[in-house]
Structure formats: structure tokens, C-alpha cells
Structure 1
Amino acid sequence: MSVDHETGVRLKSEADEPGWEVDPDDDWGVAVVATVGRQLRLRREAVGMRAAELGTATGYGEDLIYKIESGKRIPRPEFLDKADEVLGAGGLLSAMKEDVAKVRYPKKVRALGKLEAKAVEIGVYECNIIAGLLQTPEHARAVIEAAQPPYSPDDVERMVAARLARQSVFDRDPAPSIHFVLEEAPLRRQVGGTMVWRRQLEHLLEVGRLRNVTLQVMPTNTEAHPGLDGRIELLKFPDGTAVGRSDGAFSGRPITDPKQLRILELRYGTIRAQAFSPRESLAFTEQLLGET
């Protein structure tokens, strides 16, 4: 951290908040961050405040203020609130927090979350991990930290936050119908250690008992099924349209063609038919939890 020589206050620098640059390929994100930066600079200049003075008032170094104003950094929500207060912006800067928060999430994750937020029916089959919509924060962090080459600590937090933000789908009213099929093997893998694993199993039981959620487990000791090529996700919308994606079909790209969707629906339906029933799946998960 740098230090304001007049006040002795320690100010945050890039070393303290690394990795929050906007993705240059994310056109919407670039536009949002540029707009926020421009408004910040205009408000600062309107009240006759230097960048260093705004930095001292918000706990940021002058370098970070200039980075944010030039659209090269994604500002944190608490910074926008403090800057709004210091500059007397009347809520203008604070009001940008929602869009800025979305920019923090990777473009692909944001697009998926947007689709899930509109869907009236969601079907997910996962073969190697516990579905992201079902992961606890600790489990998600352990999975993301296992990547090679490793992500920076700040990028890990960014990705965890993005994954958890998608779980707002469970809070929607009216609630969508959500179906999950998970393989047995990932449920037995103690990702993050015993306590993290136990909490993950408890969370699966909590979500699996929700009125609008169906959770099924595919036992390891079973015949081959259409999900061996990878995950499948199917989303259906109020207007009757749908989108699907499968690691093992159509080059893994999202599809909307009715004929292709029927193929994914057939595969997903077969997987559900071969898996344990929802009641058996909850009992199986309780059994796993009891073995710890």
C-alpha cells in the first residue's frame, strides 16, 4: 500500500487489488467501465477535486483513481458508494453498481447466468464435478483453485463470485423447474477436505428437498449411458423456445434448432431414466454424509 504523506493514511494500490481489469473482448463490459470512469472524472472535476484528493478520501492511491477514470479498472461497489458520497453525486455513481457488478463476471458466465435467469425449466447433467448451481462457496473455491496453471487469488474470488451469483435462480418467483443428474463419483470426492465435503453434501440435501428441484444420482455401478461424453444443459423459456448444450454433441456449441434439441432431450431423458429416483438419490446422499 502507498501512504498519504499528509494524513499518514494507507492507500490501496494495484498491488492490493490485482486482476480487476476489464476483458478487452467484452464490448459491453468495456463500455460500462468507460462510462463509469468518465462520470467519475466529470464529477471530480466539477467539484474541483484532484485525483490524489479523491484517492485519500476513498482510501485509494492516485494511480488507481486514474486507472478507474480511464476505464482500465473495474471499480469495486464500495468504492463507488464512497466516491458518490465524497463527490456529492446524488446517487449517480452508486446507481452504476449493478452493471459494474455484472462486468466483474467473465463474459461466458454472465451470458449463461442471463439465460438461466429467464428459463422456466432447467435440466443439468454433470459427469465430472458437482454442478456449479449446486456448489457451496468453499467447494467452488477449492475446484477453481485446483486449475493449472493456477489463477491469481483475485481471479479465484472473481470466479467464485460469478458462480455463486448464478445461484440466484433458486430465489426467483415464480420458481423455475430445475432438474439435476449428478454422477456418484464426484459426490464421493472430498474436494476441499472433509468439512467442506460434508457441507457440500448437506447443501445438496437442502436444495434437493426444494419443491421446484429434482436431484438424481447416477450410480457408478450401472450400464453405459448417453452422458459419458460430458455434461448436458437444457434451458426452456416462457415463449416455448429452448437452448441446449452438450460436451459430446454439436461441437459443444449452444444449439436452438428443434431437431438438435430433440436429440439432447432424448439423451437427457435416458440419463434420468437410468439414474436413481429422486427419493433414492436423497437417501444415497444422506448415506454418504453418514459415512463421514
Structure 2
Amino acid sequence: MAGPKDLDPSSSPRALLGAELRHAREKVGISQEELGQRLFVSGSFIGQLEAGTRRMQAEYARMLDEALRTGGFFTRNCKAAAKSKYQEHFAEAAEAETHATSIRQYTPLLIPGLLQTPAYARAVNHAYDPTTPKETIEQWVDNRMARARLLDHPTKPLLWVVLDEAALRRETGGRAVMAEALRHIGGLAQQGRVIVQVLPLNAGAHTAMEGALKLMDFEDAPPLVYLEGVRTGRLEDDPATVTQLRFVFDLLVASALAQDKSLALIKALAEDYAHEEHP
């Protein structure tokens, strides 16, 4: 019997590869958990591969071909599915966003990418690497704005962001850029497109002082959490870890200002920046 045909790179390689994985697994009659045991990963990881929310690495592709007797199909095609316009440490998280039904995020030092304006994104990317050519910076900005088009849909995904007040007071790109950035956030919140809360400086010590986190839920795959550091990031799917970090986010929400007070603070800071006053 002929094996599966190679994927068409012009279509959606990751989704197609996931569908082929589910078909091949069901054909040999094993569960996600059983296949995960053969690859030394969790069953939820297999589920995320099948749903297209996780990238298939070459090592796993080879092991899948062996476990499912697919004649090298996954090895041949994993490169096409792994192509991304995002930096390596962030690629999986950015692509998982496109499948998420809800995203809950806390950022301590900057406005998160999905809420950034082009001018703010340009300032952030230039600060990341001042020696990068202007053309590359502009490509990064375009990629970030393409991610933000997730919010063009009126309701999906649910986006709930807790912003640290420090991020709002860190003058990034100049006062005019900050005024525009904060007005953009306020506008999205007033439209009901995002839930935004501010964690005030006077909240003191809190449960996520060690860094940023992003929780993502999916309709047909287990939840993920993305943890980000300086030029690094990793996705976690361990249920206990996800549960623990969901509790961390809940505590942040409890410590943050209510939505109306958060929007009032964002508006006041935007006006201060616009009028060149000290916040």
C-alpha cells in the first residue's frame, strides 16, 4: 500500500502534519498516551502536535516514523512545518496563539506584543539589538503587527492582560510613542476586545516577580504556558505546572486594580505623556 504523500508547503503545513499524525496513530490503534510513552513525552504533547499547536522537531519526526511505520513521511515534512518568521525561542508560542481560544498574560516590563503599536514595537526591537539594520527592524515590526491582527476578530481569542504599572511608566520610544501606545490599549479595552488590568507599584511584592507568563487554552488541545526571559522562552504543557501558573495569574488578578480603575490610570498616564508632564 502506498504511503502518505508529502505535504504541500503552500498550504498549512503544521495543521496538515498534525492531521496526518492523528490519522497514522489511529491507524495503528494506539492512544496519545501510548504514543507519547514511545517518544518519552506526555500524551498531551502528542495532542498538541496533532492539533498543530506544537512544532514537530526532527528528532520526534524520526521517532514517529519508526513508531507508526510511516516510511519517513514525518522526517521529510517536519522542516516545512517548522518554518517560521519568528525568532526560534518564540516561534512556537507565536504560532500557538493563532489556535488559542483564550490568552491570559502578565508582563512586568513592557506592553505585550499583541497590544503594541508599530512605533512602540519599533522602539522595543531597536532596543533589543541596536546594531540590527533598519530593514530587519521593520520586518520584525511587520511580523508583530501581523500577530496583533488576531484581535481583528470581534471575540476570539479572549485576551486578558495584567500590565505592571512599571511597564506603563517606562518611557519607551519617547513620550509621544507612549501616549499613542496607552491610548491604543485604552481603546481596545473600551471596545470590549480585551480585558486589561494594571498591577500597581504600591501592590508591593507579588507572585510573579520573577518574570512574564502567558497561559493559552485551546478547543482541541491541552493548555500551554509560555515562560519568557532575555532572548529565551519555553512552552510548558505539564498539567501540574500549568495549574500552578494559572493560580499565579489568578493571584495577580486579585492584586491588580479593577478594570475601571486600570483604564482610568492608563488614560491619565496617556494624557500626561501627551502633555509632556511627569507621570
TM-score range, shorter chain: 0.5 to 0.7
Cα separation, partners in 2 of 1:253 and 1:147, compared to 1, 3 Å: closer
Task: Name the aligned partner's letter for residue 127 of structure 2.
Answer: A
Q: 1:141 aligns with which of 122, 136, 143?
A: 122
- TM-score, reference length from structure 1: 0.61
Cα separation, partners in 2 of 1:171 and 1:259, compared to 1, 3 Å: same
Residue in 2 aligned with 1:202? Answer: 183
Residue in 2 aligned with 1:122? Answer: 103
Cα separation, partners in 2 of 1:137 and 1:247, compared to 1, 3 Å: closer
Residue in 2 aligned with 1:257? Answer: 238
Residue in 1 aligned with 2:264? Answer: 283
The answer on 1:151 being equivalent to 2:126 is no
Instruction: Tell me how far apart the structure 1 counterparts of residues 208 and 249 of structure 2 sit (CA, whole Å).
Output: 8
Instruction: Tell me how far apart the structure 1 counterparts of residues 139 and 193 of structure 2 sit (CA, whole Å).
Output: 29
Residue in 2 aligned with 1:95? Answer: none
Instruction: Tell me how far apart the structure 2 counterparts of residues 104 and 275 of structure 1 sit (CA, whole Å).
Output: 34
Task: Name the aligned partner's letter for residue 166 of structure 1.
Answer: R
**Higher RCO structure, 1 or 2 (CA under 8 Å, sep 6+):** 2
**Percent of pairs with identical residues:** 32
> Does structure 2 retain, via aligned residues, the 8 Å contact 1:227–1:267?
yes
What secondary structure sits across from 2:202 in the alignment?
coil
Aligned length: 193
Instruction: Tell me how far apart the structure 2 counterparts of residues 169 and 259 of structure 1 sit (CA, whole Å).
Output: 29
> Does structure 2 retain, via aligned residues, the 8 Å contact 1:104–1:158?
no
Which is worse superposed, 104-113 or 224-233? 104-113
Unmatched tracts of structure 1, length 5 or more? 1-27, 33-98
Instruction: Tell me how far apart the structure 2 counterparts of residues 129 and 232 of structure 1 sit (CA, whole Å).
Output: 13
Cα separation, partners in 2 of 1:232 and 1:281, compared to 1, 3 Å: same
Q: Please report the RMSD computed on the Cα atoms of aligned residues, expressed in angstroms.
A: 2.4
> Does structure 2 retain, via aligned residues, the 8 Å contact 1:218–1:274?
yes
> Does structure 1 retain, via aligned residues, the 8 Å contact 2:93–2:226?
no
Q: 2:113 aligns with which of 132, 157, 171?
A: 132
Residue in 1 aligned with 2:156? Answer: 175
Cα separation, partners in 2 of 1:176 and 1:125, compared to 1, 3 Å: same
Instruction: Tell me how far apart the structure 1 counterparts of residues 168 and 154 of structure 2 sit (CA, whole Å).
Output: 29
Task: Name the aligned partner's letter for residue 207 of structure 1.
Answer: L
> Does structure 2 retain, via aligned residues, the 8 Å contact 1:139–1:191?
yes
Residue in 1 aligned with 2:168? Answer: 187
CA-to-aligned-CA distance 1:251-290 (integer Å, 9 cap, x gap): 9531112111011101111011101111110011111123
Give, in angstroms, the shift of residue 247 of structure 1.
Answer: 4.3
Task: Name the aligned partner's letter for residue 270 of structure 1.
Answer: L
Residue in 1 aligned with 2:226? Answer: 245
Residue in 2 aligned with 1:211? Answer: 192
Unmatched tracts of structure 2, length 5 or more? 1-6, 11-79, 274-279
Task: Name the aligned partner's letter for residue 145 of structure 1.
Answer: H
Give, in angstroms, the shift of residue 246 of structure 1.
Answer: 2.6
- TM-score, reference length from structure 2: 0.63
Instruction: Tell me how far apart the structure 2 counterparts of residues 159 and 245 of structure 1 sit (CA, whole Å).
Output: 20
Which is worse superposed, 235-244 or 147-156? 147-156
Bigger Rg, structure 1 or 2: 1
